[in-house]
Amino acid sequence: SRSIRLAVIPGDGIGQEVVAQGLKVLSAALPQDVKLETQSYDLGAQHWHATGETLPDADLESLKNHDAILLGAIGDPSVPSGVLERGLLLKLRFAFDHYVNLRPSKLFPNTPTPLAGRPDIDFVVVREGTEGPYVGNGGSMRTGTPAEVATEVSLNTAYGVERVVRDAYERAHARPRKKLTLVHKNNVLVHAGHLWKNIFDRVGQEYPEVTTDYLHVDAATIFFVTQPERFDVIVTDNLFGDILTDLAAAVTGGIGLAASGNINPSGAFPSMFEPVHGSAPDIAGTGKADPTATVLSVALLLSHLGYGDEAARIEAAVAEDLAGRDAAAPRTTDEIGDALAARVSG
Amino acid sequence: SRSIRLAVIPGDGIGQEVVAQGLKVLSAALPQDVKLETQSYDLGAQHWHATGETLPDADLESLKNHDAILLGAIGDPSVPSGVLERGLLLKLRFAFDHYVNLRPSKLFPNTPTPLAGRPDIDFVVVREGTEGPYVGNGGSMRTGTPAEVATEVSLNTAYGVERVVRDAYERAHARPRKKLTLVHKNNVLVHAGHLWKNIFDRVGQEYPEVTTDYLHVDAATIFFVTQPERFDVIVTDNLFGDILTDLAAAVTGGIGLAASGNINPSGAFPSMFEPVHGSAPDIAGTGKADPTATVLSVALLLSHLGYGDEAARIEAAVAEDLAGRDAAAPRTTDEIGDALAARVSG
Ligand SMILES: CC(C)[C@H](C(=O)O)[C@@H](O)C(=O)O
Ligand SMILES: CC(C)[C@H](C(=O)O)[C@@H](O)C(=O)O
């Protein structure tokens, strides 16, 4: 009989609430014969205040014994900026070599968008997850004085770029439109930019059916709002991907709907699934958080673990739920979770 | 009697055409007693092909003898990406210490925007222009091999950050809403981010009337499309400013309208004014280029040189022209320039 050993890191703020709904829908979606074993990890702001630790070694070790991780949200105003992000969230992405940070963007019918004319949006960003300006390679000298110098180093390797570019070509090839766009800034960041572009072009020769193009990151933001329908799959650097996927979320109904997967395609380490949104401490505990992004992240999780039909059922349930939403009659976090679970099991 | 010694770098593609209209409107706007002396510099793709040079030392020296520079656009597909950008455009910004890259964004009535609901947009981005990931500090080893490593270093100094932050506070203080937003990514780029944030907070104590806030760059892109009216003055790093100002242009009528000034507030070197758009080789010579961004850049130039009334007249002419535009009856580059010049002199 099959089983899923799932690690759950609810985290801070609305993390708890949305993760609870994600688990509810996951249970509803799983076939009877699949045993779901969850283990919760109490990490985040509270744990840091109590212990000074962001991610104890023992937890990191223990997390390896799971098939996947579901994460809610990390971050609290009471913790200095960067401490939990670097010490917990990014630490997991790097330790578990999550080099594919997968972020699909789709504008569902009846979903609000700030864009006039409601363009047809259905693309996926393959954001590199283990390199670039996120490596934490930097420092400062004469800190706090008028002579301070601070650096941030973007590290990029052929090894790291090629594997994520290949993954993006595979994904593009598997989609009907078979189009892949590289986004970088190779007219300014010439060294990293040329590395990306050369590998993108070389690997592309192995995928003659995939149409390719290149955009500078600044120009890409323009197309995200004027012509988002032009995109199918986008592959990009860690920082550009961070920026672009928040913008992508904004034009497809907001970060309340944006799902993501931090994927280690080799399976050497568990992949981690999380909503793109943060911990939103301002609405924590009010029942206003939309759990849909977490539920869609659960769909990505299922799809990654080979439960494609169940993932599709969740996506369909979300699409139906969104189609029926009435902005004048908002529901609580729990009510949305219940509705989605009901659709999935029904 | 007064005079303006203006250097003109038309550059590539549509650069020639739009600069011609900019000069036309400039002449129309200037008071009779102001003598305009222009000197044109033949730099860009053609010059590079002919000589292998992007910016000869003699030109760099000679450019110093001007009160300001008007630049059209740089870049051509026949030149490898980065050569002209780094060797000419960025070289000028760095050599002339253009640390304030000023980019106003305003949604004029009757101007198309991809945003539903036509929000009230009127903000200005103060983009740092001489530091950050733009310094050209990086390299690659084992280039072109599977073992390649490529780096890009973002350099940030208290000296460089403080001067641009001060400039931004001054600008915010001079505006009715007196609001300044710092955009960075200090939860990931902690060293550079903390430098920016600390200086932003410290200098802010000298401006108690200015309301401040901080946004991560990814979150800022969301607000650019969902709530752009919240912004008044934004101060940010060179690369974040590059990305955000293209997005800002997109939501306020497109890059055909986005003006910019590369400003050296000390006056030690000439400041440089240029449209945010590129050389658009696809429409060069067709008369389809909109010269408005260049004309608005001329207004920034005049304002910088102390001709505030003339700058305001140009801005008013543009606003009137835009109000009367009919998308069904497009005009040529030259016709728009003529119309603007007529309004300015009339
Ligand atoms: C919280 C932060 C470290 C993170 C990132 O920058 O990757 C977030 O913005 C995201 O997109 O997942
Ligand atoms: C052409 C390029 C070097 C430039 C930049 O990145 O600054 C442009 O995008 C801009 O915004 O002026």
Contact residues on chain A for B222, CB-CB shorter than 8 A: 246-247, 249-250, 254-255
Equal CATH topology for A1-99+259-346 and A113-252:
yes
Ligand 1 contact, A91 CB (< 6 A): no
Check whether B346 has a pLDDT greater than 80. Answer: no
Torsion of CA A223, A224, A229, A232, to 10 degrees: 100
Mean pLDDT, residues A162-171: 98
In this prediction, residue A346 carries a pLDDT of 77
At A229-266, the pLDDT tens digits run: 999 999 999 999 999 999 999 999 999 999 999 999 99
CB B151 within 8 A of CB A132: no
Question: Is B76 among the annotated ligand-binding positions?
Answer: no
Mean pLDDT, residues B87-96: 98
Q: Give the Cα separation of B303 and A209 in Å (integer).
A: 53
Ligand 1 contact, A255 CB (< 6 A): no
Which residue type, as a one-letter code, is found at position A63?
Answer: L
Ligand 2 contact, A187 CB (< 6 A): yes
- Map residue B254 onto helix, strand or coil: coil
Question: Is B290 among the annotated ligand-binding positions?
Answer: yes
CB-nearest to B158 from A147, A194, A242 is A147
Contact residues on chain B for A222, CB-CB shorter than 8 A: 246-247, 249-250, 254-255
Q: Could A114 and B113 be called an inter-chain contact, meaning their C-beta atoms sit closer than 8 Å?
A: no
Residue-averaged pLDDT of chain B: 97
Tell me, in angstroms, the distance from the centre of ligand 1 to residue B133's CA.
19
Pick the CATH number of B1-102+259-346 from 3.40.50.10860, 3.40.718.10, 1.10.10.10, 3.40.50.720: 3.40.718.10
Mean pLDDT, residues A130-141: 98
At B16-57, the pLDDT tens digits run: 999 999 999 999 999 999 999 999 999 999 999 999 999 999
In this prediction, residue A316 carries a pLDDT of 98
Mean pLDDT, residues B268-294: 97
Token pair of A302 as six digits: 């299922």
Question: Residue positions of A in the annotated binding site?
Answer: 93, 103, 127, 218, 242, 246, 278-290
Nearest to A128, CA basis, from A154, A87, A98, A171:
A98
Check whether A198 has a pLDDT greater than 90. Answer: yes
Tell me the domain boundaries of chain B: 1-102+259-346, 113-122+132-139+150-252
Contact residues on chain B for A225, CB-CB shorter than 8 A: 114-115, 225, 247, 250-251
Check whether A1 has a pLDDT greater than 90. Answer: no
Mean pLDDT, residues B115-123: 97
**Residue B21 to residues A91, B12, B341: CA-CA distances in angstroms?**
54, 15, 8
In this prediction, residue B45 carries a pLDDT of 97
In this prediction, residue A79 carries a pLDDT of 97
Q: How far is B39 from chain A (nearest CA, A)?
A: 28
In this prediction, residue A260 carries a pLDDT of 98
CATH superfamily membership of A113-252: Isopropylmalate Dehydrogenase (3.40.718.10)
Residue-averaged pLDDT of chain A: 97
CATH number, span A1-99+259-346: 3.40.718.10
Q: Is A334 a catalytic residue?
A: no
Ligand 1 nearest-atom number relative to CA A242 = 11
Tell me, in angstroms, the distance from the centre of ligand 1 to residue B162's CA.
27
CATH architecture classification, B113-122+132-139+150-252: 3-Layer(aba) Sandwich (3.40)
Q: Is A309 a catalytic residue?
A: no
